[in-house]
Chain A
């Protein structure tokens, strides 16, 4: 059942106006027609009664001299003058019919009892009137007229038809006017709604909505603008804060890292060296975390900029695999068929993606397990696949692991980190007009990302 509340404001306004018009016009027309018809009837009664009185007066002599024929003639003339009078009867004071006229084809007069008390009666299509014939205050007879009201019916029908036509035209007109006028209210509202939708979808707290009204809609828009402004400011503050914080964090970290690195080089005693190595590992972890945090903040405020250049993917992969292999136990096996594919992109960021995926794969392949790298090439894209043999990613989680701050729910595998790595990877790959996703393998999982090959990239745009 169609719900009034769910129809658009625009349509509500139109419906409201049209309905109001319909209601008002119906009432007005109704009242007018009603009073019109009533006054017509009234006039008819008055004129017929007058006529009856005149007849009565004119027939006094016929009654006095008992000349029904003369009376009949008069009644006949009456019909000729007023054809709507289909029957006329004169009664004498004994209640007997003195003279009578009926339109040819009709039966003769039937007096209604009610009429004996009243002077007129509307019954069906006919009007009955009576008038006493008095002479010197003495009632010597009565005149009864039977009037047909076909004219009335015609008028009624005509008026109703006219009213109906006018009503339809008026409604149409009202509809058109409403159509135009409703924009005064709905346009601003709809614009606000679409802007809000846009903002909530794109997260782009852009220009404030212009509006110079003073009504509630204007207030709505102003508050909305204010809120947007606040959000924008908050974001800016947050970004500033993260920027400053990461800068401030990195400075002492530089010192820590530097000294620990030197200590690592200098220290040979096994236990101490182990300690130092542990510290080193974590300093690096800390460094990565801070860097990721900063990246996420940049991504969110749209400040992550890519430096696009051409580079050799095979070279990059080799470098990266070597770097990761140096510090991980599982063997990284290259089964890919990369030769000299050229990618147009931000080398540093792609390196970041590779490092992220490789270190994840290594992390999630416990023990001596291996990690296999594969590739695939279409005429447009290059796909890199990184396969691990760990616990894999469940179907449910596949949807969510690329989200910010998402960390695997499986607590049997405890790994630290903010859960930002894959979020950043996805952003970088998407900016390169590629795709990144994960598939389940048996066992383990395969992380795959695609990048457009140099020639096909040129036909696509990327946001800097």
Chain B
């Protein structure tokens, strides 16, 4: 079963996505505090990270960039998501795999994740 790490500062969205992904047979860990990302990546070792861009005082894009520099995390596919559709333009810049605008269709979410799971 594939492991997905979901990071979003909105609790409701977090639980929604967790339910959606679990319903679709993914192993999900969902965190709202970005400080925990490093430990989660290390402990949980997800196959894909679903990363919100606006994380309060942090920016998902920067976190993605950081992941790309670290050897252990550089290969993990990252999908950014945001209510701001403009953020989609930055995926190449921070070397994320894809971008999902909010709100999204469930099917779109699942398909995109499946596509980018290596």
Q: Which residues of A contact B (CB under 8 A)?
A: 243, 246-248, 250-259, 261-262, 265, 283, 287, 291, 294, 307
Contact = CB atoms under 8 A, between A and B. Distances in A.
A254 B17 CA distance: 10
A297 to B, nearest CB: 12
B83 A258 contact: no
7 contacts: A247-B84, A251-B13, A251-B102, A255-B13, A258-B13, A258-B16, A262-B20
A254 B84 contact: no
Q: Choose among A252, A255, A291, A307 the residue with the greatest number of B CB atoms under 10 Å from its CB.
A: A255
Given A246-B83, A247-B83, A255-B13, 12 more contacts: A247-B84, A250-B103, A251-B13, A253-B103, A254-B10, A254-B16, A254-B103, A255-B16, A258-B20, A283-B103, A291-B85, A307-B89
A294 B103 CA distance: 14
B70 interface: no
Given A255-B12, A255-B13, A261 B102 contact: no
Contacts of A255: 10, 12-13, 16
Q: Which of B10, B83, B104: most chain A CB closer than 10 A?
A: B83
A252 B10 CA distance: 9
Interface in B19-69: 19-20, 23, 54
Most chain A beta carbons < 10 A, residue from B83, B103, B104, B105: B103
Interface residues of B, number: 18
Given A261-B105, A261-B106, A287-B103, A254 B83 contact: yes
A258 B23 CA distance: 13
Interface in B85-112: 85, 89, 102-106
Contacts of B12: 252, 255
A262 B13 contact: no
A258 B84 contact: no
Interface of B: 10, 12-13, 16-17, 19-20, 23, 54, 83-85, 89, 102-106
Given A250-B102, A251-B83, A258 B10 contact: no
Contacts of B17: 258
Contact of A258 (B54, B85, B103): B103
Contacts of B105: 261
A256 to B, nearest CB: 8
Nearest to B105: A261
The 4 closest A-B pairs by CB, nearest first: A250-B83, A254-B103, A258-B16, A255-B12
Nearest to B52: A251
Nearest to B106: A261
Given A247-B83, A262-B19, A262-B20, A254 B104 contact: yes
B101 to A, nearest CB: 8
Contacts of A257: 103-104
Nearest to A243: B84
Given A251-B83, A254-B13, A255-B10, A262 B106 contact: yes
A132 to B, nearest CB: 114
A259 B83 contact: no
B79 to A, nearest CB: 15
A250 B81 CA distance: 12
A294 B86 CA distance: 11
Contacts of A243: 84
B20 to A, nearest CB: 7
Contacts of B19: 262
Contacts of B10: 251, 254-255
Contacts of B102: 250-251, 253-254
A161 to B, nearest CB: 81
A251 B104 CA distance: 11
Contacts of A291: 85
Nearest to A258: B16
B26 to A, nearest CB: 15
B41 to A, nearest CB: 24
Contacts of B13: 251, 254-255, 258
